[in-house]
Every structure is written in structure tokens, then in C-alpha cells.
């Protein structure tokens, strides 16, 4: 791999780095401030490239992040996805979705259905520092 | 829940039914014939609603399906997603993606970038009976 953005950079705001994975908050999705990613540190493409123990660790982390997102944000739904078509380096998207967000109920990759509401984004964003801290403390 | 399509129906072509989950092949995505779903049988919304043992079972199944999809289809990438905004009943999408498919490298929920190639779809579809059989045998 000459260049992989997830080998070369954290990929967002670093919340916690563990030996095998890291948790970042995405900073490239303004309509979705409550968007975290669990990035596997090694350059592997697919979930099934991990050993059983690694996969369990990866998905346990995803689940713990999801639980804290639910506890802090009470989203309508959590969206989980490991796509990697553009960056084939295993990373899990965790996105807090709300009725009335710019794409709901469509996936965030579909055409937007409406403008995001600045007030709703501001309320959501105001909860992120406490969530970031809870996530960091959870994995510390 | 008055009506949940995944409580009321299998949700596609049934490949295997286990006590806690079922594997179906999607029949509603003509541009993506190699599209499977692992559906949790109980009506729960989020992965983190499962017990640890249930979650491990669920993700181990997803991984086994992914491995057989890779072995039979050699896709460019596997896409995994649990969204559930429309049907908040836990189900994992497993989609075999190929360079040149109608959305690649975008997610399948984005606007299509090109028409699917009938010849490519025909080749892919021709491999599905053997994959279905291998999946069923794997879980038998």
C-alpha cells in the first residue's frame, strides 16, 4: 500500500488509541456531528480478515461505542456500516440518526431529503464533548 | 409493533433458519443480486440490544457468510451495514461489490453512477445457486 489515508492519519479526532484499533470522531460530515469510527490499526480490508479474537474485540468495541452513543444522545437509530470501497482499510462507521436529520429515514449516503436544522445540530454538537469524554474514559 | 415486515415475513429468499437468526438472499435489489441479509429473529432494534453471547453468534454468522461470499464471488469489496431506519428490526446487509457495478465506489444507497452491465449481472447471478447451497450447508 503506497498510500492509505487510514494508515497515514488517525482519520479524524482521536478519542482513544488501543494497540489494535482506535476510536475517532469524524470531522468530515458536518450534517452528522455524532459520527464515530472504529478503525482497525492494521491495514486489513474485511472483517473476516481478522482472527476470531480480533473480530470479537472489534465488535465489542463497536458495541460499547454504540451503547454510549445511545445513552448520551438517545438517537432514533444507530447506523453501523463497514464499507471501505474507497478506503479498503477496515473501519466501522457509527452514526447517530434522528428523525428530521437531513436524510432520515434514508441512509446518509443517499441524496439529502432536507437541509439540516441548525438548532438541532447545535443541540447535538453540545452533547459531544461529554460523550467524547465518556468514550475515552470507557476505554482508558 | 403492529406491523414489522421482518416479523411478518422472511424478508427474502430463505437460505437458512436458525433458532435466533435467519439468512436470506435479497430479492429486491436487481442491480445487486449478491446481496444477503442476516436477520435477527426477535424484534430488537440495535446490535447492542443483544446479549454478549447473542451478539457474538450474530457477528460470527455475518463473518461466515462474508467468507463464503468472498470464496465464491471474489468481490472487490464486501459491504456490511446494519441501518434499520425504515425497519428497526436488526438485520445485517452483506453486499458483494465490484468495480464497475452501478454505484462503485459509492455506497449502493448513493445515486447510481452507471447502468449495471447485463453480462456482469448474468455471470454473478449464475454463481448464486452454488453459493446459496454452500451457505445452507455451512449452517446445516
Summarised one tens digit per residue, pLDDT across range B56-114 is 999 999 999 999 999 999 999 999 999 999 999 999 999 999 999 999 999 999 999 99
Question: Are B47 and A80 a contacting pair at CB < 8 A?
Answer: yes
Q: What is the pTM of this model?
A: 0.97
Cα→Cα distances A94→A3, A66, A126, B34, B69, Å: 24, 7, 18, 24, 24
Q: How confident is the model at residue A137 (pLDDT cuts 50, 70, 90)?
A: very high
Q: Considering CB atoms only, which of B46, B79, B86 is closest to A105?
A: B86
Torsion angles phi and psi, residue A47, rounded to 5: -55, -40
Mean pLDDT of A113-139: 97
**What CA–CA distances, in Å, run from B108 to A52, B46, B71?**
28, 22, 22
- Our CA-based measurement puts residue A81 at a distance from the nearest CA of chain B, in whole angstroms, of 4
Interface test with A, best of B77, B93, B113 (most A CBs within 10 A): B77
H or E segment to which residue A119 belongs: helix A118-126
What whole-number distance in Å separates Cα of residue B86 and Cα of residue B63?
Answer: 24
Residues of A in contact with B97 (CB under 8 A): 85
Interface residue B100 vs chain A (CB under 8 A): no
For domain B5-138, say whether CATH 3.30.360.10 is its number. Answer: no
- Indicate the domain borders of chain B: 5-138
Q: Which residue in chain B has the smallest CA separation from A52?
A: B60
Amino acid at each position: 500500500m503506497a498510500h492509505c489515508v487510514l494508515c497515514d492519519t488517525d482519520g479524524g479526532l482521536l478519542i482513544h488509541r488501543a494497540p489494535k484499533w482506535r476510536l475517532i470522531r469524524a470531522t468530515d460530515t458536518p450534517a452528522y456531528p455524532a459520527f464515530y469510527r472504529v478503525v482497525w490499526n492494521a491495514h486489513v480490508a474485511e472483517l473476516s480478515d481478522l482472527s476470531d479474537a480480533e473480530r470479537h474485540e472489534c465488535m465489542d468495541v463497536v458495541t460499547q461505542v454504540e451503547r454510549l452513543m445511545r445513552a448520551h444522545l438517545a438517537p432514533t437509530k444507530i447506523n453501523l456500516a463497514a464499507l471501505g470501497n474507497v478506503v479498503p482499510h477496515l473501519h466501522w462507521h457509527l452514526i447517530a440518526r434522528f428523525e428530521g436529520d437531513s436524510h432520515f429515514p434514508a441512509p446518509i449516503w443517499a441524496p439529502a431529503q432536507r437541509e439540516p436544522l441548525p438548532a438541532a445540530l447545535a443541540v447535538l454538537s453540545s452533547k459531544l464533548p461529554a460523550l467524547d469524554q465518556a468514550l475515552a474514559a470507557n476505554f482508558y
